[in-house]
Amino acid sequence: MADVLAFVERRIGRIGGSAFEVVATASRVARAMGGSAHALVLGGAGASAGAAELAHFGAVTIAVGEHDALSEYSPEGYASVIVELVRQGGYGAVLLSATALGRDLAPRLAALLDVPLATDATGIEVVEGRVRIERPIYSGKAFAQLDLDATPALVSIRPNAFPAMESAAAGAVSTFTPQVDPSAWRVRVLERKGAAEGAVDVSEATVIVSGGRGMKDPSNWHLLEALRDALGTGVALGASRAVVDAGWRSHAEQVGQTGKTVAPKLYVAVGISGAIQHLAGMRTAKTIVAINRDADAPIFAVADYGIVGDLFEILPRLSAEIAALKAGS
């Protein structure tokens, strides 16, 4: 019997980073371990304000550590607070999101706790009391099932890969003041530049509209923006490496082997040939749509639906039809 801890991140002052998926998954793992799930949030003063949102995803308690020095992520600060709580809590497993923050934080926790770390899990189960995870390797060209021989089992989970199941019971929110010593921190953020207001990051988007070299020129991106806007909220723009290398789009948008790995509900690839390194980043999308004038482009081999033709003719029509549909429903 063991409890499970879900670390929940906040971003730009809000609960984020697929928090609900992490808490819901922790609660499922806790049931399998015969224990209960607990959520942990860190932030500045007032961080508990949004924590009630987490109450219905199966955690019995939601502890919010409030300290002004923790209002923004500090690797050293967050790691020290979490490690302390994990040591005290005697958890069977500790879960967090495989976001930029989680990827930075999780290996530090692993080294401090001296336990192995499974990152980017797409599946997790408890077999004879031990955690077994499944995760993609070779950028999705294979999947590995791994058994973790340590307590706690430390796992980061891939955003969008787990359901955020709600539960009837409500967890109790409490706050505490963590002990931190900012003077000892050696990593200091000098400057943060946010992306455009309301922009959604590809790694978290539920829908992605991606453009490749077939777009011909960066000035044509308004066609993709129109489709993004027609599709509603939670939609991000993505890009192939060819257009990132050409300087048309920022690296943050690149999908693939040397860009981001994404698993949205819908991925629309426009003017992208579908090189193996691009597919590595998006092949686990639930539904893939490809628009390409070359009927032999490899992207059609993974696409659920394709249209062969000139994207400059197809995109405006597609945006208009979807906008009309959304307006009607």
Ligand X SMILES: Cc1cc2nc3c(=O)[nH]c(=O)nc-3n(C[C@H](O)[C@H](O)[C@H](O)COP(=O)(O)OP(=O)(O)OC[C@H]3O[C@@H](n4cnc5c(N)ncnc54)[C@H](O)[C@@H]3O)c2cc1C
Identify the residue among 58, 102, 136, 212 touching ligand X (CB under 6 A).
212
Q: Give the Cα separation of 278 and 261 in Å (integer).
A: 9
Closer to other proteins by Cβ: residue 59 or 117: 117
Return the residues of window 257-316 that contact other proteins according to CB under 8 A. Answer: 257-259, 265-266, 276-277, 280, 283-284, 286-290, 295, 300-310, 313-314
Nearest CA-CA partner of 152 in 96, 102, 74, 101: 96
DSSP state of 51: G
Verify binding: residue 181, other proteins, rule CB under 8 A.
no
Binding status of residue 237 toward other proteins by CB under 8 A = no
Examine residue 228 and tell whether it contacts ligand X (CB under 6 A). Answer: no
Which of 23, 37, 226, 272 binds ligand X (CB under 6 A)? It is: 272
CA distance 176 to 172: 13
CB contact at 8 A, 198 and 256:
no
DSSP 82-104: HHHHHHHHT-SEEEEE-SHHHHH
Binding mask 10-49 for other proteins (x = CB under 8 A): -xx----x--------------------------------
* CB proximity list for 170: less than 8 A, separation 6 or greater: 55, 56
Q: Which stretch binds ligand X (CB under 6 A): 116-124, 179-187, 217-225, 309-317?
A: 309-317
Least distance in angstroms from the C-beta of 298 to ligand X: 8
Enumerate long-range contacts of 45-48, CB under 8 Å, 24 or more apart: 45/71, 47/10, 47/71, 47/175, 48/173, 48/175
Binding to ligand X by CB under 6 A, coded x per residue (else -) over 169-188, reads --------------------
Residue 22, token pair as written in the block? 């992490």
Q: How far is the CB of 36 from other proteins (least distance, A)?
A: 25
Q: Least separation, in Å, of the C-beta of 255 and ligand X?
A: 6
d(CA 320, CA 205) in angstroms, rounded, equals 22
Q: How far apart are CA 136 and CA 120, in angstroms?
A: 8
**Tokens representing 60?**
């019995």
Q: Residue ranges of the alpha helices (H) in 246-290? A: 276-282
**Number of residues counted as binding ligand X (CB under 6 A):** 27
Q: Which of 172, 199, 218, 233 binds other proteins (CB under 8 A)?
A: 199
For residue 41, the Cα-to-chain-centroid distance in whole angstroms is 17
The stretch among 26-34, 54-62, 131-139, 163-171 that binds other proteins (CB under 8 A) is 131-139
Binding mask 85-124 for ligand X (x = CB under 6 A): ----------------------------------------
Least spacing, CB of residue 254 vs ligand X, in Å? 5
SS3 314: helix
- Residues at the contact surface with ligand X, assessed by CB under 6 A: 212-214, 240-243, 254-259, 271-273, 275, 277-278, 281, 292-294, 297, 310-312
